[in-house]
Amino acid sequence: MRCIDASIQTIERNPEIYVFAYEKYRGALVRRFPYAIFYEYFEGKITVYAVFHCSQDSKKWRSRLN
């Protein structure tokens, strides 16, 4: 959980540092664990949509973002 919290803090400090992973959503890989955080940054607001285990099918996390 500390690694996830640290990644979210990094997103809060600089939300545009991560690239777009899918359409308008950005993806941040969590350090030390095979997780990714998918979020949207729009008009100064950050919305986290998923913290997703990277070994799962990518279609699954994309369906959550639609």
- pLDDT tens, position by position, 8-58: 999 999 999 999 998 999 999 998 788 999 999 999 999 999 898 888 777
Give the per-residue pLDDT at 60.
73
DSSP secondary structure string for all residues of the chain: -HHHHHHHHHHHH-GGGSPEEETTEEEEEPTTSSEEEEEEEETTEEEEEEEEETTS-HHHHHHHH-
Using the predicted structure, report yes or no on whether residue 63 has a pLDDT greater than 80.
no
Domain count, the chain: 1
Residue range(s) defining the domain that contains residue 60: 2-65
Give the per-residue pLDDT at 32.
79
Give the per-residue pLDDT at 33.
81
Confidence of residue 62 (pLDDT cuts 50, 70, 90): confident
Maximum distance among all Cα pairs of the chain, rounded to whole angstroms: 32
pTM for the structure as a whole: 0.83
Contact call for residues 22 and 15 (beta carbons, < 8 A): no
